[in-house]
């Protein structure tokens, strides 16, 4: 973990062990930043000062600028004139779009893919880590592991393009998560529901798993809509 403190914010960047070193530099940096959005290090509305961020990413400012332009195209950062680059803040339209895509991809994965022991073990590992994080009251990690669990569902399709698209979707979703004092109440209900999905898949009960997933996504979307309403009210 690398971190730098600025006047109004703390920048933290974790480097994944599996980051592909053969990719072009700007693409590696864009993946690095996207992964740090997914794991909660970079939050909605956070400024991304160029000099500090380039140092944390161990890259040049030119490469960082190219990576940020790439992330802007993915809907993860915004440019503000005379102020710089900020992690994007999403709204209700984004929530609706994200959940339309989630329904298509995750349900497709459950119905079209063979549920192998490899994929079941991968999914179970994220659930176990989420449950451990809950016992330790590290709710940001709970949220990260829940996202990784659903990422593992889509990975069952065995399609790199779907995986890349869903990674962007998860980063956008993370920007909508509650943080701070409300994070425990926001994350806790989903631990048991993720385990329920896994148990249905482990029993090869795909039809029931799809029904449970549809209900899961419906309630998750409603929760985020309420979170956005509350946040908007708080900031008015």
Q: Quick one: average pLDDT of 113-123?
A: 91
Residue 229 pLDDT more than 80?
A: no
Residue 44 or 20, more confident:
44
What 3-state class would DSSP assign to 157?
coil
Q: Confidence class of residue 21 from pLDDT cuts 50, 70 and 90?
A: confident
Q: Which domains does the chain have, with CATH numbers?
A: 25-87 (1.10.10.10), 92-229 (1.20.120.530)
Q: How far apart are CA 167 and CA 31, in angstroms?
A: 9
Pairing of β 2-5 and β 10-13 = antiparallel
- Region class of 204: left (phi > 0), else alpha (psi between -120 and 50), else beta: left
What 3-state class would DSSP assign to 131?
helix
What 3-state class would DSSP assign to 75?
coil
Q: How far apart are CA 210 and CA 110, in angstroms?
A: 7
Pairing of β 84-87 and β 77-80 = antiparallel
Give residue 16's pLDDT: 87
């Amino acid at each position: 973990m690398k971190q730098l403190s600025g006047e109004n914010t703390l920048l933290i960047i974790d480097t994944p062990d599996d980051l592909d070193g053969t990719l072009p530099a700007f693409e590696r940096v864009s993946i690095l930043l996207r992964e740090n959005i997914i794991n909660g290090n970079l939050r909605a509305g956070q400024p991304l000062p160029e000099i500090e961020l380039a140092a944390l990413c161990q890259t040049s400012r030119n490469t960082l600028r190219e990576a940020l332009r790439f992330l802007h195209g993915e809907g993860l950062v915004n440019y503000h004139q005379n102020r710089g680059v900020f992690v994007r803040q999403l709204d209700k339209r984004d929530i609706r779009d994200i959940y339309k895509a989630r329904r298509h991809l995750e349900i497709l994965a459950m119905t079209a893919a063979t549920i192998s022991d490899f994929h079941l073990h991968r999914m179970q590992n994220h659930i176990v880590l989420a449950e451990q994080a809950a016992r330790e009251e590290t709710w940001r990690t709970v949220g990260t592991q829940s996202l990784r669990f659903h990422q593992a569902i889509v990975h069952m399709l065995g399609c790199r393009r779907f995986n890349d698209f869903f990674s962007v979707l998860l980063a956008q979703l993370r920007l909508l998560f509650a943080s701070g004092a409300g994070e425990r109440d926001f994350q806790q209900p989903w631990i048991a529901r993720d385990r329920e999905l896994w148990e249905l898949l482990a029993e090869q009960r795909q039809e029931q798993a799809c029904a449970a997933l549809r209900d899961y996504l419906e309630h998750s979307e409603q929760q985020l809509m309420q979170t956005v309403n509350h946040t908007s009210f708080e900031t008015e």
